[in-house]
Structure 1
């Protein structure tokens, strides 16, 4: 299967990318976290956390510990029933970020320059909330080159690398895992951006870098894992982000010659790892061997009937509480009256969280410059039932049509894992149906899904701030939803759906690790 056909089937004919006889071997499932078995230096991180995130002027190991805890630590053990009438249960390891099937294919690595520990490359051990030192040394210049000389690493105290470990969710979802992996990386980046903001860390997301050089630095094997994004952290107010690429000719191969190869043994539990050739083929096609300074961007469409959303100036709610309260309801949504003020607060919080610095815009742009957001409403007091488009740049919502769309959306789901009749809001995330391939090649698909994940996670946090929750859904008929949300005329396609509403407690046993 060629790559264009693979991406088409991935979105529009998903049955064609997974063998009909595919069976999930749960007995041989991988761990949802990576463990190194090589005897490597380990740095224990503190578990003493306050409920507030005081800004840092001189980052310490304790600040980093809090950043990692709120970003990607295992914060809850949950035992849930397989269904409402089942006595069978399964155990999951939950974090503050969502993940398809709670499988968490992303891994976190860091380049750290803190006084308390040796400067070098570390892996975040989420299972033990600790750091594993993989390689000591100062790699400022190496990373400057790997990022296309667009980041002054000497002014950063850390850089975070978000990778994808392919087998961690391929074992369940087969090739469909490719879409989930990009979204999962985006969910994690969205959380890190919000935690960093509350720690007063300046952040910027690099989607474009020399993949081979970064993977070589971390010692990851590209046949099983690859870095998707780099997030430098700084407290230097004078730092300039994403400067034009300088005329320095350097390749991944040349950079890799500067460092010895490291091979640290790791444990993932699975005894049999089935092949995933299409994921490796897609990852290889995404690799960058040269960087360009192309600032072209897709164009958004906008028009008529607008509803003004009252605007406030800051996030006044508890971020920590929003993290702890967030989870993905299924059949436990409960339809209750939803005030327009609550919707306004949700959209206001989302707008305030939707600015982020990245190497595509090269400024603090709204996420909705590339990922469009529409929603259907039912039973919102003070707002007509219908379909709306979110116009974050003007803090307005544009009415597209009137009506009750709950049944139509239910009919478009591939499985009845949520009850749309009990949901007042359902958000549709859409973007270019060619996934910006003309701008970024096959990497455009990956970037598009990471940006969708970032915006989606910010919406989930905004919902949790309003005592509601959302359920990210990929199991829907994409052509059906594209028609419903009137996307075809804009050459856009549905990337994710998130129903949002109130809910009753889920029938499960849980043990919190964040008390």
Structure 2
């Protein structure tokens, strides 16, 4: 099967992206976190602050601040037990089974958390080097000791002044962690999951007044080898430098000394590293093969810095005004919110949505705050107009004060909604659900993050698909946070009829497609036992 057909099936033929007769072996399920054995560890402070106020980093990030940043980015924050309703085949009666999950500050498909988080740190409180964030024990596991500025600068093509940063974060995907349940469909989930984590890392950096950027282009095999990752198990998807300088100050450190050297290859960098092997634990004993994932991951890799490509928005079509009619949304002050409270209360409603008053101001806040996520630093270009050609936001609205029911396109530059079709669209959206786990009749807002139908492959090759989904994940994270500031919740969904929604918004004529669906509304608390996992 060609890789183009593989991606088409993931997006438009999702039922065949996962075998219909697949029986998930939950008894052999992998851990949702990675464990190392026999390596030096640095425990992080067990007492995590209950507020991030006054946590600004001044001269250097302290160990307690580092612990709080990692904890609220990707730590095991809660354990939750609820009841799973199922039907007995014998008696035809309902059974209630206990469902225990470890919760983190970010959303993840099936709560499987396929990402792992690594950091390169240069702090006086710990030896400089590369570390894995051991989620299960809230500690750092040392992978390599030493200064790797020169190595990382070249692996990033000289575009990032690593020497001006106090650290670098790496977000990877461990393929088996959600392939065991979702099979090949996991490839679509993985980019979105990693993108949501990137959004949380940036939000946490803002809380500490740390400057970040996201690098999507780097020498994959070199970075993976540096971290001791096996390409057939795990691969880094994004690199995030951390600095106490502004972005302009960081880039005032000239990187020309690297770019002038010409081409750098992954093979050349790998030869500089002493080989290191690690013993790791993921619990599964019987792992199925996933050749399609390995094939497309290999096709997306960059072997040479000459393969790095600048995304050009000039090649993309302009945002087309669909009608002269529009709704100018009110410009509101950015809301103040407690990120710790969001991390503690984050919840993905399913059958828990309830009808409650929703107004135009709430829609305006969610729209503006969500699309502001695309103003982050990256190696693609952070201009909002260019970014909005890669990703855009559409919404189907029902019973919102001041807005007529219908489907709308959002223009972030004008902060305006453009109507596409009027009417109650709930039945159409509900019929397009492949799994009736959300009652859309109780949802006033159903958002769709929309991207290029070619998944950026024409410009960025097969790496474009994962970049598109990583950015979509960042947008989804911000949308969920924006909904929280309005007292609402959202449930990201891939179980929807993409072609139905593309037709609803007339996207195919513009070579666009819906990437993910997020119903947003008010919800009732679910009956569950829940406890925090910090001191």
In structure 2, C-alpha distance between the alignment counterparts of 1:414 and 1:351, rounded to whole Å? 27
Deviations 1:231-259 (A, max 9, x none): 00001231118978823221101101111
In structure 2, C-alpha distance between the alignment counterparts of 1:361 and 1:335, rounded to whole Å? 40
Structure 1 partner of 2:108? 99
TM-score by length of 1: 0.96
Using a 3 Å threshold, how does the CA distance of structure 1 residues 353 and 320 change in structure 2: closer, same or farther?
farther
Structure 1 partner of 2:56? 55
Q: How many residues align?
A: 515
Structure 2 partner of 1:70? 72
Shift of 1:198: 1.6
Structure 2 partner of 1:153? 162
In structure 1, C-alpha distance between the alignment counterparts of 2:236 and 2:223, rounded to whole Å? 7
Within 5 Å, give how 1:225-374 maps onto structure 2: 225-237=234-246, 238-240=249-251, 246-247=259-260, 248-291=262-305, 292-297=308-313, 298-303=316-321, 304-361=324-381, 367-374=387-394
Using a 3 Å threshold, how does the CA distance of structure 1 residues 45 and 2 change in structure 2: closer, same or farther?
farther
Within 5 Å, give how 1:6-85 maps onto structure 2: 6-53=6-53, 54-58=55-59, 59-83=61-85, 85=94
Matched residue of 1:380: which SS? coil
In structure 1, C-alpha distance between the alignment counterparts of 2:350 and 2:50, rounded to whole Å? 31
Matched residue of 2:353: which SS? coil
Matched residue of 2:106: which SS? coil
In structure 1, C-alpha distance between the alignment counterparts of 2:386 and 2:103, rounded to whole Å? 29
Structure 1 partner of 2:91? none
Partners of 1:194 and 1:353 within 8 A in 2: no
In structure 2, C-alpha distance between the alignment counterparts of 1:76 and 1:443, rounded to whole Å? 34
TM-score by length of 2: 0.93
> Is 1:175 the equivalent of 2:210?
no
Partners of 2:385 and 2:413 within 8 A in 1: no
Shift of 1:64: 1.5
Shift of 1:267: 0.6
> Is 1:87 the equivalent of 2:81?
no
Shift of 1:336: 1.1
Matched residue of 2:40: which SS? coil
Deviations 1:468-507 (A, max 9, x none): 0000000112111211222111111111000000011112
Partners of 1:329 and 1:471 within 8 A in 2: yes
- The gaps in structure 2 that reach 5 residues or longer are 87-93
Structure 1 partner of 2:90? none
Shift of 1:365: 7.1
Partners of 1:413 and 1:476 within 8 A in 2: yes
In structure 2, C-alpha distance between the alignment counterparts of 1:61 and 1:365, rounded to whole Å? 39
Partners of 1:11 and 1:478 within 8 A in 2: yes
